[in-house]
Structure 1
């Protein structure tokens, strides 16, 4: 897993990887668990990953891995690294295009907190580049089709396999998601009545939707890697679990994830219909664009609530970051777009 959106990296500077001793401990743990018998010679913080930390581990045999661990502060909607590791493994076993999950470490004596190791894959994730630079995406319809198809591979995971990781599915995946968002909103110190109004309207419109599938939960441009115009890996499974299939579709196609390309309904990188055609190819399920409008509104609300929690991580002092601080500035625009979408019908 490699994010090339920012060329700068920070070597061996983190609460998790402070010095060469930590690298030595990581190398020994990897050898003990038959991941690699080589020595870790360098650790570089990868760009991207607004919620968790990703580090490239370069071994003395020339092979690289990725170490994924907790950031200094988390948001309530994120699962643990142990849970995420097993979700990566479920996705990998079902044929999803993910980096191979090599192993999970709960032993805090290694770097001070849990982590897991992934294979290293090359590519670019930066949404603003993928949306606007045809060098990275020479065939936009083909990439959008592929992204729809890859999401369909995840959604067609047999229920018994998903149940082994997530437990019993909810009676209504849509209602469960809306209630989860409401709890996160209620946990904030300030009221947000416009978001509450949107959630109530969405509850009325979508609450009866009972289908539940293995859902990525954050499937969008920025959370997959593109190499030579094709997807090389789907990233960041920390929000995955049971979900209505349209929730992932609505999240990917929502206005908030088009990176300044509103005409590109397929995640800002390609035509919406190409994305839906790819999804139908993998699942046999045809979805009309009009079916996704309410789910896109839900995506706007969900991202607004996450942005509020991101801002709180900065304001509380738990993790000082300009990126996190600026997330809170998005909330008004996200809320207005959600209300506009809910007025379409």
Structure 2
């Protein structure tokens, strides 16, 4: 008989577990790609992930603790291992993810959570920089604003022209005329504003009708002033879309930025364009779909 393969997370086999009365209260409760999140009893969370791209979450959380009253996890310790892994231990935020209770909440309760969250985002809006960057002058990472590949650093950037030069990398195959027309629509990026970047319902912690915490600040930084509103409208599923639609009702509106980005992101898929991408490119142009067939917008 072949030996049982130990658990990749804890290293134990079922034989070892059955031979021991110990029941661990260290539990892996989330894993995705190269990262995992563990509960350490009832009070602490341990995060492990690759440090490529660089992880600025601990720096961001300490920065927010100092400059805002936003309820964010307190960092107990963070460090990089020689093998390229980043670890951080944080205090657990009480409550449940909004995603877990959304379906059972009343309309009034949902509105209250949206208003509270928007109030905390107002505090973020007061945190501004002279450059587009992460804290301590580090580059930005965003696969939505810079859809030229995962984990690619951008910046620091000092102007709208530099921002466009980085964004335009994702449009390298788009006809020049379409790129020029889109460039004219780029809204002013200043003031460069500290932005969460992922206000999904899984990252909003609630308890007794109140927001108890906002999680997942690893990709936050100083982005264009219109980016908070724009990325807050990217729904991951139907409930998340409902949440973000409600949330943005109470946020300063940057609809021109959102419309610009929607066209930009659609064009970044060239030549495999959806209806929006075709409209942004211009009518009466023929391109090839994924099957090599010509189609017209």
Quick check: TM above 0.5? yes
Judged with a 3 Å threshold, the aligned counterparts in structure 2 of structure 1 residues 101 and 209 are, in CA distance, closer, same or farther, namely same
Query: Structure 1 residues 229 and 131 mapped into 2: Cα distance closer, same or farther (>3 Å)?
Result: same
Q: Does structure 1 residue 203 correspond to structure 2 residue 183?
A: yes
TM-score in terms of structure 2 length:
0.63
Once the two structures are superposed, residues 46-80 of structure 1 have per-residue CA deviations (whole angstroms, 9 ceiling, x without a partner) of: 2476773211112xxxx531111216xx9xxx742
Deviation track 1:309-344 (CA, whole Å, cap 9, x = no partner) reads xxxxxxxxxxxxxxxxxxxxxxx89x556777999x
Of 59, 73, 86 in structure 1, the residue corresponding to residue 59 of structure 2 is 86
Change (3 A) 1:234 1:271: closer
* Alpha carbons 2:76, 2:90 under 8 Å: kept: yes
Whichever of the two has the greater Rg, that structure is 2
Matched, 1:107 2:87: no
1:172 maps to which of 159, 162, 178: 159
For structure 2, list consecutive stretches of 5 or more residues without a partner in the other structure: 1-5, 14-22, 139-154, 283-297
Q: Structure 1 length normalisation: TM-score?
A: 0.55
Q: CA RMSD in A?
A: 4.4
Alpha-carbon distance in 1 for matches of 2:281, 2:120: 28
Structure 1 residues 47, 114: closer, same or farther in 2, change over 3 A? closer
| Residues 175 and 141 (structure 1), Cα distance of their counterparts in 2 relative to 1, 3 Å cut | farther
CA contact (8 A) 2:127 2:193 kept: yes
Counterpart position of 2:46: 67
Q: 1:125 aligns with which of 75, 94, 97?
A: 97
Q: 1:267 aligns with which of 239, 244, 252?
A: 244
Report the number of matched residues: 247
Q: In the aligned structure 2, how far is the partner of 1:338 from the partner of 1:157?
A: 34
**More strand per residue:** 2
Give me the whole-angstrom Cα distance separating, in 1, the residues matched to 2:109 and 2:125: 25
* 4+ long deviations beyond 6 Å: 196-200, 338-343
Query: Residues 269-308 of structure 1: matches in 2 within 5 Å?
Result: 270=246, 272-273=248-249, 275-276=250-251, 287=252, 289=253, 291-295=254-258, 298=261
